[in-house]
């Protein structure tokens, strides 16, 4: 396993073999986007972000792994109704505002549909915040470890890891060789359920960059030795993600490698994936993970190698299937207008307020009739709930039928 890895060289980001790859489909207008990117990145005021998050209210915290400052992330909505995600750093993480702004701007220039776009930042007083587009369909961790309706299928899992390597390769090509603390919470899903890499991980948690927020059982060996991460550390973290994908669990890499050495692949595999992949495909994914988890950084594969290997695992028939279909239509969230969202919530007050603002007039008798019917439906459902709790199933069915 170490022999072939030794040919790769000391930097895992450089390709060690001559492979003709198709032009990256995920980078749009890469050559001509520098000036546009600079203009599109903006600085927000602290007041704007306070309003967007209702004063950084606790109910707007979306840090999926329970992180606290300096890693807390909020969801919010700007005055133009655009949904955003905001990462708020600890007060003294970046004492030099110019250095923080320079770092944020360099990340804000990145534009790829494999990544969540960084819209801007806030550098006001002691506050340091990043503002990114909001991904409405949750994190990879949610769909792997905490799924509610159905688990993620094999083909979608392969799409996730391939898109992730392409995102990391794009960052590398733009001079961003370090991604800090890569994990399942950093992989997000947009409104069409396409996997996107969070740009927040490109920004160090502090000016010195020494922090590593995950459990040390999952930290790269070189971080344990030196307290620093390198480009090869990103490959190690990617190997852990491959294990997450295959097992459906977040297990320490040392334990996983013991199972791999004992050839207990069936013990490792997520039981939800039974019958969805061949033994050879499963073995190949585990082989890639074990190579990424090599103790010596120089023996880990590079991104070009991983892209080649993961592309080979993809099935041609699934390449054109939309992500929301592979994920299951129940997880698909379309981009709705504010009025559409009010309809989805059945918020009559908000709907009537919006209609009133645009001067819409309706026949009063029809409006009252519609409101009365809605009220009757709500009352029927309440009665059905009461009957159901009392185990009067016949009456519950009758009331639920009336409600429908």
DSSP for residue 79: T
SS (H, E, C) 284-316: HHHHHHHHHCCCCHHHCCCHHHHHHHHHHHCCH
Q: Which H/E stretch holds residue 12?
A: none
**Cβ within 8 Å of residue 117, ≥6 positions away:** 110, 111, 132, 133, 199
Q: Which of 65, 96, 169, 181 is catalytic?
A: 181
Instruction: Output the CA–CA distances (angstroms, integers) from residue 48 to 52, 321, 349, in the order listed.
Output: 6, 39, 26
Decide if 4 contacts 300 (C-beta within 8 A).
no
Looking at the DSSP assignment, which residues form a beta bridge with residue 84? 76, 133
- Residue whose pair of structure tokens reads 């040392």 in the numeric block: 254
- Residue whose pair of structure tokens reads 């505002």 in the numeric block: 97
Residues 387 and 135: their CA atoms lie apart, in Å, by 40
Strands 72-77, 83-88: pairing kind: antiparallel
What SS3 state is found at 130? Answer: strand
Residues 325 and 332: their CA atoms lie apart, in Å, by 8
Residues 207 and 341: their CA atoms lie apart, in Å, by 40
**Whether 181 is catalytic:** yes
Catalytic residue numbers, as ranges: 181
């Amino acid at each position: 396993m170490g022999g072939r890895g030794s040919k790769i060289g000391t930097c895992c980001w450089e390709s060690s073999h001559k492979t003709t790859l198709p032009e990256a489909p995920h980078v749009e207008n890469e050559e001509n986007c520098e000036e546009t990117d600079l203009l599109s990145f903006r600085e927000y005021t602290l007041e704007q972000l306070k309003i967007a998050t209702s004063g950084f209210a606790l109910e707007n915290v979306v840090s999926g792994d329970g992180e606290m400052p300096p890693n807390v992330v909020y969801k919010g909505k700007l005055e133009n109704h655009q949904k955003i995600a905001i990462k708020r750093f600890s007060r003294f993480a970046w004492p030099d505002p110019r250095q923080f702004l320079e770092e944020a701007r360099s990340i804000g220039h990145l534009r790829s549909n494999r990544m969540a776009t960084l819209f801007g930042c806030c550098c006001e007083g002691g506050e340091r915040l990043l503002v990114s587009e909001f991904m409405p369909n949750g994190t990879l961790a949610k769909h792997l470890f905490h799924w509610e309706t159905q688990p993620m299928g094999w083909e979608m899992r392969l799409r996730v890891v391939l898109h992730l390597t392409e995102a990391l390769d794009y960052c590398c090509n733009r001079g961003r060789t370090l991604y800090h603390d890569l994990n399942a919470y950093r992989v997000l899903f947009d409104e069409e359920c396409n996997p996107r890499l969070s740009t927040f991980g490109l920004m160090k948690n502090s000016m010195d960059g020494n922090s590593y927020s995950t459990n040390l059982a999952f930290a790269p060996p070189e971080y344990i030795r030196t307290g620093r991460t390198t480009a090869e550390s990103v490959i190690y973290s990617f190997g852990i993600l491959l294990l997450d994908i295959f097992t459906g669990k977040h297990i320490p890499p040392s334990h996983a490698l013991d199972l791999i050495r004992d050839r207990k692949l069936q013990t490792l595999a997520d039981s939800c994936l039974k019958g969805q992949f061949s033994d050879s495909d499963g073995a190949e994914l585990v082989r890639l993970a074990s190579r990424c988890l090599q103790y010596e950084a120089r023996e880990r594969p590079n991104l070009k190698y991983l892209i080649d290997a993961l592309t080979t695992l993809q099935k041609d028939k699934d390449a054109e299937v939309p992500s929301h279909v592979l994920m299951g239509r129940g997880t698909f969230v379309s981009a709705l207008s504010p009025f559409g969202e009010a309809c989805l919530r059945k918020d009559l007050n908000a709907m009537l307020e919006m209609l009133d603002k645009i001067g819409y007039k309706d026949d009063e008798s029809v409006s009252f009739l519609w409101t009365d019917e809605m009220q009757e439906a709500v009352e029927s459902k309440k009665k059905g709930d009461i009957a159901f709790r009392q185990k009067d199933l016949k009456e519950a069915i009758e009331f639920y039928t009336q409600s429908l």
